[in-house]
């Protein structure tokens, strides 16, 4: 027997196909605990304002507590014919406490209810993500600290460019993830505004106290416009955008970890816990965690596109399309939380192969820029020095030697300005140390940067 439609308006029942299309409880039931919290605050306010009796308010609170326990215990059989998490919980409440339960929905609509639930849920996700980002930033700082003096080739165009400190490279990612953190904090401010009290779209004639509810739920304020409040999803788009950026940053790093752990580079080894073997090739140790994260970034970028496309054609105010905001939102949050946590842990298992990095420094003529600068310091114009060193490099290629191995008499053929002190001048450590500008890779500067970020992390830890 099919159930009759919800409410008195309908004589006929819903088509099974309509039910399949329309139900959201299969995915929004995960909002149940936040829905109950919001309902509790609403019920308390309704009682306090005399909109319902104190007894009814108390009965509702008691009923919600009981339902919350059931939800936490995983004992609830969600009914898709009741459409969504809100109607399911309301039906459970009425089944449990009778008439009083029918009064909970006074002065509210599912439109402001879902908007409120999602904001409460999202606020918790953001706080969780901020903590996981913190651990990730800490892991980067630990690596920077542990291998502080290691020098490796810095790349442009994936070609050897100039030597840099490994710590400098790690702190580059630290900066990205710190901006990601700042972005999330910014988004959180706009998420933490309460839509409840907007009702379906226009507000309610009942004498509600929105501030009271907002206070109980820990919102920073209440929405200013009921029509905006029930139909705006830009805070979700901002959140997914922040997630897409985090995933993009992780994906860039993943790409480097994959390259660095290849035989060709052998710069690092990722611990067994975050790599896997091959079902056929016994020698393999694959950087799957990094690869999967790189792959999952695609999905989160997709989530952002989905939300943008979902909202772009919608007239005010609530439209049922908005129910479709949840799968991409949940997916973006779940994926980003997981991948950030994975990276924080995986980085702790990374060991750096200093010798491989040192060997790599001998390839690609990383000293060329410094050699030109050397000539500049001897009075040669930079453009001319650039030309001379280019010819020296060509000579090295002919002789199959590196710049530090090229004998002085060879150098002399290209310019009389070359002296034997050039060999010291182009030692990797010396080259790195010369980049002594704020933001540069000189150990002095990187040490300063590292001390600064450690102070920042310490302050953040104390605040939480
Ligand atoms: N399940 C809906 C959603 O997620 C609830 C909101 C209101 N539904 C409605 N028919 N007015 O958007």
């605990």: which residue's tokens?
33
Q: Does residue 180 sit in the same domain as residue 277?
A: yes
d(CA 114, ligand 1 centre) in Å: 7
Of all protein residues, whose CA lies closest to atom 3 belonging to ligand 1?
Answer: 323
pLDDT of residue 345: 98
Nearest by Cα to 274 from 367, 365, 339: 339
Residues 181 and 47 in one domain: no
300 and 352 within one domain = yes
| pLDDT attached to residue 6 | 62
Nearest to 113 by CA among 8, 224, 217: 217
- How big is the CA angle at 424 (ends 450 and 388), to the nearest 5 degrees? 105
118 plus 96 within the same structural domain: no
152 located within any domain: no
Query: Could you tell me if residue 402 is inside a domain?
Result: yes
Q: Which atom of ligand 1 is nearest to the CA of 318?
A: 11
With b for 16 or more beta-carbon neighbours within 10 A and e for fewer, the 205-223 pattern comes to eeebebeebbebbebeebb
Question: Alpha-carbon torsion 284, 288, 294, 296, what sign?
Answer: positive
Ligand 1 centroid to Cα of residue 296, in Å, is 29
- For residues 301 and 441, state if they share a domain: no
Q: Whose CA is nearest to atom 4 of ligand 1?
A: 323
Cα–Cα distance for residue pair 120/222, rounded to 1 Å: 13
Mean pLDDT of each 10-residue bin along the chain, 464 residues long = 64 91 98 98 98 98 98 97 97 98 98 98 98 98 98 96 97 98 98 98 98 98 98 98 98 98 96 87 88 98 98 98 98 98 98 97 93 96 97 97 96 96 96 97 98 98 91
Using a cut of 0.85, tell me whether the model's pTM lies above it.
yes
Both 325 and 391 in a single domain?
Answer: no
Atom of ligand 1 nearest to the CA of 322: 12
Domain containing residue 236: CATH number: 1.20.200.10
Per-residue pLDDT, 4: 54
Backbone torsion region of residue 235, taken as left when φ is above 0, otherwise alpha when ψ lies between -120 and 50, otherwise beta: alpha
Answer yes or no: is 179 within a domain.
yes
Is 157 considered catalytic here? yes
Pairing of strands 159-165, 193-194: unpaired
> Are 35 and 89 spatial neighbours (Cβ–Cβ below 8 Å)?
yes
Which helix (DSSP H) or strand (DSSP E) does residue 352 occupy?
strand 351-352
CA of 322 to the centre of ligand 1 (A): 8
Question: Residues 169, 294: one domain?
Answer: yes
- Is 351 in the same domain as 365? no
Q: Considering the domain boundaries, does residue 101 fall inside one?
A: yes
pLDDT value of position 5: 65
3-state secondary structure of 290: helix
Q: Is residue 10 part of a domain?
A: no
Whether 293 and 343 share a structural domain: yes
Looking at the structure, tell me whether residues 285 and 385 fall in a common domain: no
**Cα gap 11→295, rounded to integer Å:** 49
Provide the CA 440 distance to its chain's centre, in angstroms: 27
Place of tokens 């326990």: 69
Nearest alpha-carbon partner for 404 in 388, 422, 417 = 422
For residue 408, give its domain range: 360-463
Residue 231 is a catalytic residue: no
Domain annotation covers residue 456: yes
Q: Is residue 288 part of a domain?
A: yes
Domain of residue 28, CATH code: 1.10.275.10
Domain membership flag for residue 336: yes
How is residue 157 written in tokens?
């165009």
Maximum C-alpha span of the chain: 101
98 and 123 assigned to the same domain = no
Q: How far is the centre of ligand 1, averaged over its atoms, from the C-alpha of 81 (Å)?
A: 14
Both 398 and 265 in one domain: the answer is no
Helix, strand, or coil (residue 406): coil
**CATH code of the domain in which 448 resides:** 1.10.40.30
Instruction: Please tell me the distance from the alpha carbon of residue 287 to that of residue 274, in angstroms, as a whole number.
Output: 7
Active-site option among 53, 262, 278, 377: 278
Domain edge (last residue) among 296, 327, 356: 356
Q: How many domains does the chain have?
A: 3
């Amino acid at each position: 027997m099919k159930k009759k439609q919800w409410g008195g308006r309908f004589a006929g029942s819903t088509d099974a196909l309509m039910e399949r299309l329309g139900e959201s409880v299969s995915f929004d039931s995960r909002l149940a605990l936040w829905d109950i919290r919001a309902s509790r605050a609403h019920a308390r306010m309704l009682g306090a304002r005399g909109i319902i009796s104190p007894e009814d308010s108390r009965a509702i609170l008691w009923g919600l507590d009981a339902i919350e326990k059931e939800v936490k215990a995983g004992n609830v059989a969600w009914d898709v014919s009741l459409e969504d998490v809100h109607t399911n919980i309301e039906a459970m409440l009425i089944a449990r406490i009778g008439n009083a339960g029918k009064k909970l929905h006074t002065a509210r609509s599912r439109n402001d209810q879902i908007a409120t639930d999602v904001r409460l849920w999202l606020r918790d996700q953001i706080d969780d993500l901020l903590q996981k980002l913190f651990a990730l930033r800490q892991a980067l700082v630990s690596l920077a600290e542990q291998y502080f003096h290691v020098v490796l080739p810095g790349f442009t165009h994936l070609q050897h460019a100039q030597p840099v400190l490994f710590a400098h490279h790690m702190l580059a990612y630290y900066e990205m993830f710190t901006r990601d953190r700042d972005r999330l904090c910014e988004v959180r401010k706009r998420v933490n505004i309460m839509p409840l009290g907007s009702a379906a779209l226009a507000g309610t004639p009942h004498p509600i106290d929105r501030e009271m509810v907002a206070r109980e739920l820990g919102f920073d304020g209440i929405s200013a416009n009921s029509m905006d409040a029930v139909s705006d999803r830009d805070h979700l788009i901002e959140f997914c955008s922040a997630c897409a950026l985090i995933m993009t940053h992780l994906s860039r790093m993943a790409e480097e970890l994959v390259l660095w752990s290849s035989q060709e580079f052998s710069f690092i080894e990722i611990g067994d816990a975050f790599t896997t073997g091959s079902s056929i090739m016994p020698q393999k140790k694959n950087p799957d965690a990094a690869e999967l994260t790189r792959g999952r970034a695609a999905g989160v970028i997709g989530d952002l596109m989905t939300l943008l496309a979902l909202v772009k054609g919608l007239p005010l105010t609530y439209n049922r399309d908005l129910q479709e905001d949840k799968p991409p939102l949940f997916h973006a949050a779940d994926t980003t939380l997981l991948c950030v946590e994975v990276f924080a842990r995986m980085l702790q298992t990374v060991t750096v192969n200093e010798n491989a990095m040192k060997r790599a420094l001998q390839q690609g003529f990383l000293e060329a820029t410094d050699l030109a600068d050397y000539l500049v310091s001897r009075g040669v114009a930079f453009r001319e020095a650039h030309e001379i060193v280019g010819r020296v490099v060509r000579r090295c290629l002919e002789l199959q030697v590196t710049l530090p191995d090229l004998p002085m008499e060879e150098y002399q053929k290209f310019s009389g300005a070359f002296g034997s002190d050039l060999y010291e001048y182009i030692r990797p450590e010396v080259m790195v140390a010369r980049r002594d500008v704020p933001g540069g890779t000189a150990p002095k500067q990187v040490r300063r940067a590292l001390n600064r970020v450690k102070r920042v992390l310490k302050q953040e830890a104390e605040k939480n």
